Chains A and B, each alone.
Chain A
Amino acid sequence: MPSSHDWINKPLGVVEAMFAQSNSNPEWEAKVLEYFKGQLREKESHSWVPSLNDVPLHYLKPNSLVKFRCLVQDMFDPEFYMGVYETVDPSTKANVLRCGKYKDVTECGVDLNSRNTVTAERQTFYCVPIPGESPWAKESYGCSSQARVVPSTSYVPSRQKRSYEEDDDDMDTQPQKQREPHTEPHGNGDSKRQETEAPSSQTTAPSDCSSHLDLNFPLPGERGPACLVKVYEGLDSFKLNDTLEIYGILSVNPVLTVLGEEKDPSLLLLNPTESMETPEEQRAHDPPASLVPRLHMLYARPLQHNNPLLPSAPTEDQSAFVSSFLVEMASVRAELLAYLTHVLLGDGLAAEYLLLHLISNVYTRRDVLPLGKFTLNLSGCPLNSYTERLYQIVQQLVPCSYRLSMSLHTMNSMRLVPKKDYVANRLVSGALQLARNTSLFLDETQLEQGQLDSSGVRNITALGNLISWQKVDYDFSYHQMEFPCNINVLVTSEGRSLLPSDCQVPLQPQVTPPNMEEYLTTIHMAQFTSQINKFRVYLSLARTLDYSISDEVTKAVEDDFVDMRKDDPQSVTAEDLHRMLVVARLLSLSLGQTTLSRDGWMRAKHIDMLRRSRTEQQKSLNGNEP
């Protein structure tokens, strides 16, 4: 058993063996990648690999294979390193060729003047855990790896849950509990065990350190390890804000940390190249390895979704999973709709729209126009923490979400748009640097009257651009760079939102519970976890389905549009048609139908009509609102 997992415990051994066999034939690099890919393709083998997301760093064995689920937050400049170098043994004077790939430091006794040195190129990505990942998703990922865990590494899986829920009692017992099932086959496990003896520092230590060192998370209050990922192959295939699951060799060599806070002057002297960089830059690019480990990428899997309940890879079992779920789809939809109706105080129409919003997705772009986005403005929300509870419920349903409370203070002070810091030479993150399909919950009920300063105006503009064009203009100080995004924006407000939206639904509560908190909590409690899980799968799955419109229905839609315009050209505009087409698409998908039927179109028209009559009603109530 242990030998079969050498590729996890000692991946560098595998790499070096292949390098030694190769006789400097460059093909060995491809072989290495192929080998690891092959190993990971084996059923469930990827769950044997410990994950940086779940396991605290100090439980992980250096130079072992680990995985990391992350977002590419920044891309640093490419660096040149010694791909192959020669060392001289001081005693025997024998020269040995060594491989420098997948390592940060060299062996001792490097012959700097050797002619056999090969310089190679790699790039560093700064990766952070996926921002706004819901607790349930984290937990579920942690569980899935723990359930099947039998690797012979010495790490003690500890669920991430602990770091955000103050659960002190459990804390103390945890290490003991975990020790029992572990029969260490390796001798070196003992030293590691020592570390688990002091668990109380576990929760405090990382948070302490991260306060000194800005780990540059897009959202405030995030936890988790950031990671410097060294990428060797396929540099062009990665983009900023990609979500990846990276398999790589963990490197936490303390040598990397030497260039820490206080610079030893003699060290600076010995390595004058360091003076090229400002201290800020060094801190950003060479943070202590104990806080920001290095990961040498062997394999990266782009994440299409971040839902642990769905099969991750597009394999046969996924399509099987999809087809089996499609049967259930309509019934799950009905249940979810009922649930949302309760949550929205008995307003079925708003629930319908919320459901459509939750499965919306920018599926393509036509020149500058993003298609498929469906920003919902839920107006007329009751005050007093209703929106907060609503967010909690949304958070329970989607894998990634963030609630931005749009108070004057946050709008004026918060950084939404990422900005390049040229002194530290890094991209300082902002709250709008989010992974695809993240639910952004904008709470406009928190906004009060007052003065927006220039950064506030910029933030509002950025939100407006995000909603209308699904792009964020990152601030590069001398110019702006446009990064397309795919974020589901939900705006809750009292009146009509000041931000643009694709569709506004005034909430019409049918029930007025005396105690809102209690009401919502009971609704939430009434749902079984299995039920909620079904909802979660449903929402993620509906988004990935294909969709088409037949010629026949196209014709019908066109006729319909012409008819509507005939009656009253003012009432239906091109904009309305745009929206109705999106609604029709989402409505079909929500029922698991991959083509638009005539019925589907009529239903879309119908609910849009209902919604419109409701907004008009609202207008006449409020007088002359434009």
Chain B
Amino acid sequence: MPRSSVHLLCISQRHGGWDQKSQIWTHQTKGQISTGVMSFACVSCAQASLFLLVSFSSGFYASPLNILPSEVDMSSPLMYGTPSSRVEGTPRSGVGGTPARQRPDLGSIRKAPQVDLHSEPPSADGAVASEQALGQKLVIWGTDVNVGTCKEKFQRFLQRFIDPTSNEDENAGLDLNEPLYMQKLEEISVVGEPVLNVNCSHVQSFDADLYRQLISYPQEVIPTFDMAVNELFFERFPDSILEHQIQVRPYNALKTRNMRSLNPEDIDQMITISGMVIRTSQLIPEMQEAFFQCQVCAFSTCVEVDRGRIAEPAVCRNCNTTHSLALIHNRSAFSDKQMIKVQESPDDMPAGQTPHTTIVYAHNDLVDKVQPGDRINITGIYRAVPMRENPRQSNVKSVYKTHIDVIHFRKTDEKRLHGLDEDSDQKLFTEERVQILKELASKPDVYDRLSSALAPSIYEHEDIKKGILLQLFGGTRKDFSQTGRGNFRAEVNILLCGDPGTSKSQLLQYVFNLVPRGQYTSGKGSSAVGLTAYVMKDPETKQLVLQTGALVLSDNGICCIDEFDKMSDSTRSVLHEVMEQQTLSIAKAGIICQLNARTSVLAAANPVESQWNPKKTTIENIQLPHTLLSRFDLIFLMLDPQDEAYDRRLAHHLVALYYQSEEQIEEEFLDMAVLKDYIAYARTYINPRLNEEASQALIEAYVDMRKIGSGRGMVSAYPRQLESLIRLAEAHAKVRFSDKVETIDVEEAKRLHREALKQSATDPRTGFVDISIITTGMSATARKRKEEVAQALKKMIQSKGKTPAMKYQQLFDDLRGQSEAAITKDMFEEALRALADEDYLTVTGKTVRLL
């Protein structure tokens, strides 16, 4: 159980007054222990040490503490306070056994709000008085919250709220047709974690007025919720004992989503913003209650910290000595606090501006919940710290400092590590937008429209654009982990190869700019580490931190890799796992883990000889291992077609590019936004499945593909190709917003796959499509010929009778003389190697020995 408490061990040396004092505190959260040591000198002990502690606490509020004087001997100056003796206090609202706990996150709860219920409001102004006249109950001063009604409403919400359509991961395993939050309370009684997270949108749909109150007056309403929940809980589970009373943590307030839109009206309201943690501070112990002891008679007294200040008692109540009370630090109560800096997430920002940052304070068990780099949603109360008067200056800076007191954290990228479900940070689409998208989807030529909207500045290459379009949509994610196969890859991988200067890089750049989670790297500049993940030691905390690389960062997105051929072998090798298993395994510096990297790879490679050699196969041209190559669903060649009609269209396109007017450009930008939304919508909401006909069509297609080569002893398709076909067909169905994969999808997948094959897997020697070029790196005819030569050589050697050793050159000449076809030295060597593999002979230097 995460348990946060402060131990104060105090070693003080007394030399008359206090000269020096060291203080050590330990802080425990989730098994991590961080220890801080501070020491300070003080001459006029009480005064100086008091100051120092106050400077730790930057809050200007105090919560009502109900801390009982603990039963430990108070007179001892060296007391090892145990956490329980510190935290435990009077139970609130008569609940037995479980202590209440202050909530620094809520800040200054107006002292005992309930009091107002039974007494006259402090200022009997008109509004409240008239309400009174109407016979209503009193409200908390300054708000329209009535504690009784509010409590009742919330209890009713807890007891009745059902959300049958819930798909949040937090509700996994709960019965959706039963009251949701009652099940959660049950969970609390079993697990013992006294925190109840409440989704604000649930509250809103249940009771809009209650929601409004929650948003507007969180620091009054949430304690009321706390009371309500605890009453309900201990009514149902009277025997359970929790660490402290249940705290309600609302999240997902709809008020604000973007840090940029925070404005002065949001102050003191509950807000939810998203952002990325950029810095976390050390633990700050914040004094909640100061403990004073009289130096004369050892009488002790406690003073609450009120808005960062301690009212030091001037006179001892027991012996009436003035200025005799000294602060005892280790007897004072502290709470944890941490400053966190959050930066606006890059997606929320308007172009050309720098991201904003906000300071967030986390309290108690929320301390150390997040690390720099985490993307989080924060629900909290927005505060502006009022200025303080400075007696030494007549005027003050007129600026407020703002921060957020956090109530609830929610990591948005958590799922990536756990692989729970689809994006929770789904883009929200307005009704009209969805309507526009659906209209677009219903058009018969939507596929062509979208593909032409893709990178309009790049001319033609229609099939490549279509391939990339399908890649952007991706296949349907299937889970076969129960049958032992694990996840099926749903992502489509594409390789573009071709002459330099055929705008491959431009296409990659475009895709990278289009998708929200795109990464762009260049093969030349990236290392295996940069692609995967690396372990870094934080210089400050000495903590090991896992830094993720491009492939992990583009999980659920596209990783664009330029100059794929220039990548070093070791770098390329990490791609093997990613491109088929869609995971990344890391074993470094004691961290062993498997990260999800469900990323599509869009790579571009240049031919080795700078110009594409049409007489060679793809493999020979780009010199990539076939094991990697076979993991690409589509391999396209981007070649200069060299024909007049094409040239004319190209020229027209380019010239148009240079003189097109502003409006036309505007139009196109709109297209890009629509395209983005269209893809996002399809990826989130459309999960097509194969129908019967489509399955049949796929089977036929596969069988056909296998048949093509079988006549010539070649294999032109492997199961991997079938998987590719399925993915492409699914992606095409997604383009149509169809929930079923139909025959037309299969047709298009077939066509595109064939196109790509035609370009990349054609055997230049025979002109036939031969998939083995890609799967084994060598065309079947080439392999056949290699075998023939080896056999011929063997025969020749056997015909020579018993000669244990032969001259290399001699043998080569003999073979050349014997064979009808020309035999090159390479072929001869290959044949020798093949025979050596058979253990028929060995080659040592210039002699060939039989075995």
Q: Which residues of A contact B (CB under 8 A)?
A: 74-75, 77-82, 85, 100, 103-110, 112, 119-121, 236, 238-241, 255-256, 258, 267-273, 275-276, 364, 366-369, 371, 420, 422-423, 425, 427, 457, 461, 468-469, 476-479, 481, 483-484, 547-549, 554, 557-558, 561-562, 565-566, 569, 573-575, 577-578, 581-582, 585, 626
Q: Which of B357, B392, B395, B665 contacts A364 (CB 8 A)?
A: B665
**Contact sample, A vs B, 30 pairs, CB 8 Å cutoff:** A78-B262, A78-B356, A79-B402, A103-B398, A104-B397, A112-B386, A258-B393, A267-B390, A270-B392, A271-B388, A272-B55, A272-B58, A273-B385, A276-B359, A366-B660, A367-B510, A368-B457, A368-B513, A369-B506, A371-B657, A422-B341, A425-B341, A457-B525, A478-B343, A548-B659, A557-B651, A561-B650, A574-B501, A575-B501, A582-B658
The answer to whether B278 touches A100 (Cβ under 8 A) is no
The answer to whether A574 touches B353 (Cβ under 8 A) is no
B21 at the interface (CB under 8 A from A): no
Task: Give me the 3 closest cross-chain CB pairs, A-B, nearest first.
Answer: A239-B352, A108-B394, A561-B651
The answer to whether A270 touches B279 (Cβ under 8 A) is no
B148 at the interface (CB under 8 A from A): no
**B640-681 interface code vs A (CB 8 A; 1 in, 0 out):** 101010011011101111111010010010001000000000
Q: Nearest chain B CB to A470's CB is how many angstroms away?
A: 12
Q: Which of A75, A110, A562 contacts B396 (CB 8 A)?
A: A110
Known: A369-B506, A549-B659. A558 touches B398 (CB 8 A): no
The answer to whether A626 touches B264 (Cβ under 8 A) is no
Known: A119-B267, A272-B308, A573-B501. A367 touches B644 (CB 8 A): no
Residues of A within 8 A of B373 (CB): 478
C-alpha spacing A73/B510, complex, angstroms:
28
* Interface SS of A by simple majority: mixed
Q: Which of B278, B359, B455 contacts A422 (CB 8 A)?
A: B278
Q: Nearest chain B CB to A585's CB is how many angstroms away?
A: 7
B54 at the interface (CB under 8 A from A): yes
The answer to whether B658 touches A574 (Cβ under 8 A) is no
Q: Nearest chain B CB to A419's CB is how many angstroms away?
A: 12
The answer to whether A108 touches B395 (Cβ under 8 A) is yes
Known: A240-B352, A548-B659, A562-B651. A574 touches B506 (CB 8 A): no
| Residues of B in contact with A, size category | 35 or more
Chain B minimum-CB-distance residue to A574 = B650
The answer to whether B457 touches A366 (Cβ under 8 A) is yes
The answer to whether B510 touches A119 (Cβ under 8 A) is no
B843 at the interface (CB under 8 A from A): no
B399 at the interface (CB under 8 A from A): yes
The answer to whether A273 touches B58 (Cβ under 8 A) is yes
Q: Which of B384, B397, B647, B655 contacts A119 (CB 8 A)?
A: B384
Chain A minimum-CB-distance residue to B265 = A119
Q: Nearest chain A CB to B645's CB is how many angstroms away?
A: 9
Chain A minimum-CB-distance residue to B507 = A368
The answer to whether A558 touches B501 (Cβ under 8 A) is no
The answer to whether A79 touches B399 (Cβ under 8 A) is yes
The answer to whether A272 touches B54 (Cβ under 8 A) is yes
Residues of B within 8 A of A575 (CB): 501
Residues of B within 8 A of A121 (CB): 263-264
Given known contacts A270-B392, A366-B660, A425-B357, what 14 new A-B pairs fall within 8 Å (CB)? A85-B398, A104-B397, A240-B352, A271-B388, A366-B668, A425-B341, A476-B346, A478-B278, A558-B648, A561-B650, A562-B644, A565-B644, A581-B658, A582-B658
C-alpha spacing A483/B457, complex, angstroms:
20
The answer to whether B513 touches A256 (Cβ under 8 A) is no
The answer to whether B506 touches A368 (Cβ under 8 A) is yes
B685 at the interface (CB under 8 A from A): no
Known: A80-B264, A106-B395, A255-B395. A236 touches B350 (CB 8 A): yes
Chain B minimum-CB-distance residue to A109 = B394
**B510-554 interface code vs A (CB 8 A; 1 in, 0 out):** 100100000000100100000000000000000000000000000
Residues of B within 8 A of A364 (CB): 662, 665
Residues of A within 8 A of B455 (CB): 367
Known: A369-B506, A565-B644. A80 touches B395 (CB 8 A): no
Query: For chain B residues 342-392, which have a beta carbon within 8 Å of chain A?
Result: 343, 346, 349-359, 372-373, 384-392
Residues of B within 8 A of A75 (CB): 353-354
The answer to whether B672 touches A367 (Cβ under 8 A) is yes
The answer to whether A369 touches B457 (Cβ under 8 A) is yes
Residues of A within 8 A of B644 (CB): 562, 565-566
Q: Which of A78, A85, A558 contacts B652 (CB 8 A)?
A: A558
Q: Nearest chain B CB to A188's CB is how many angstroms away?
A: 21
Residues of A within 8 A of B55 (CB): 268-269, 272, 275
The answer to whether B352 touches A269 (Cβ under 8 A) is no
Residues of B within 8 A of A108 (CB): 394-395
C-alpha spacing A239/B390, complex, angstroms:
37
The answer to whether B398 touches A105 (Cβ under 8 A) is yes
Chain B minimum-CB-distance residue to A565 = B647
Q: Nearest chain B CB to A363's CB is how many angstroms away?
A: 9
B276 at the interface (CB under 8 A from A): yes
Q: Which residues of B contact A (CB under 8 A)?
A: 51, 54-55, 57-58, 262-264, 267, 276, 278-279, 308, 339, 341, 343, 346, 349-359, 372-373, 384-403, 455-457, 459, 501-503, 505-506, 509-510, 513, 522, 525, 610, 640, 642, 644, 647-648, 650-652, 654-660, 662, 665, 668, 672
C-alpha spacing A239/B279, complex, angstroms:
25
The answer to whether A240 touches B506 (Cβ under 8 A) is no
Residues of B within 8 A of A240 (CB): 352-354
Residues of A within 8 A of B372 (CB): 478
The answer to whether B350 touches A273 (Cβ under 8 A) is no
The answer to whether A105 touches B353 (Cβ under 8 A) is no
Residues of B within 8 A of A255 (CB): 393, 395, 397
Residues of A within 8 A of B509 (CB): 368, 469
Q: Nearest chain B CB to A362's CB is how many angstroms away?
A: 13
Known: A75-B354, A112-B389, A119-B264. A554 touches B51 (CB 8 A): no
Q: Which of B58, B390, B399 contacts A81 (CB 8 A)?
A: B399
Residues of B within 8 A of A109 (CB): 394
Q: Nearest chain A CB to B661's CB is how many angstroms away?
A: 9
The answer to whether A574 touches B503 (Cβ under 8 A) is yes
The answer to whether B397 touches A256 (Cβ under 8 A) is yes
The answer to whether B389 touches A574 (Cβ under 8 A) is no
Known: A240-B354, A548-B659, A581-B655. A106 touches B510 (CB 8 A): no
Residues of B within 8 A of A236 (CB): 350
Residues of A within 8 A of B657 (CB): 366, 369, 371
Residues of B within 8 A of A78 (CB): 262, 356
Q: Nearest chain A CB to B199's CB is how many angstroms away?
A: 28
The answer to whether B279 touches A74 (Cβ under 8 A) is no
Chain A minimum-CB-distance residue to B642 = A569
C-alpha spacing A81/B359, complex, angstroms:
17
Q: Which of A79, A239, A368 contacts B353 (CB 8 A)?
A: A239
Q: Which of A367, A582, A585 contacts B513 (CB 8 A)?
A: A367
C-alpha spacing A74/B279, complex, angstroms:
19
Residues of A within 8 A of B610 (CB): 626
Q: Nearest chain B CB to A28's CB is how many angstroms away?
A: 18
C-alpha spacing A107/B402, complex, angstroms:
22
Chain B minimum-CB-distance residue to A110 = B396
The answer to whether A110 touches B400 (Cβ under 8 A) is no
Chain A minimum-CB-distance residue to B648 = A562
C-alpha spacing A484/B343, complex, angstroms:
21
Q: Nearest chain A CB to B788's CB is how many angstroms away?
A: 38
Q: Nearest chain A CB to B523's CB is how many angstroms away?
A: 13
Known: A554-B652, A562-B651. A573 touches B400 (CB 8 A): no
Chain B minimum-CB-distance residue to A480 = B346
C-alpha spacing A461/B530, complex, angstroms:
15
C-alpha spacing A239/B353, complex, angstroms:
5
Residues of A within 8 A of B662 (CB): 364
Residues of B within 8 A of A104 (CB): 397-399
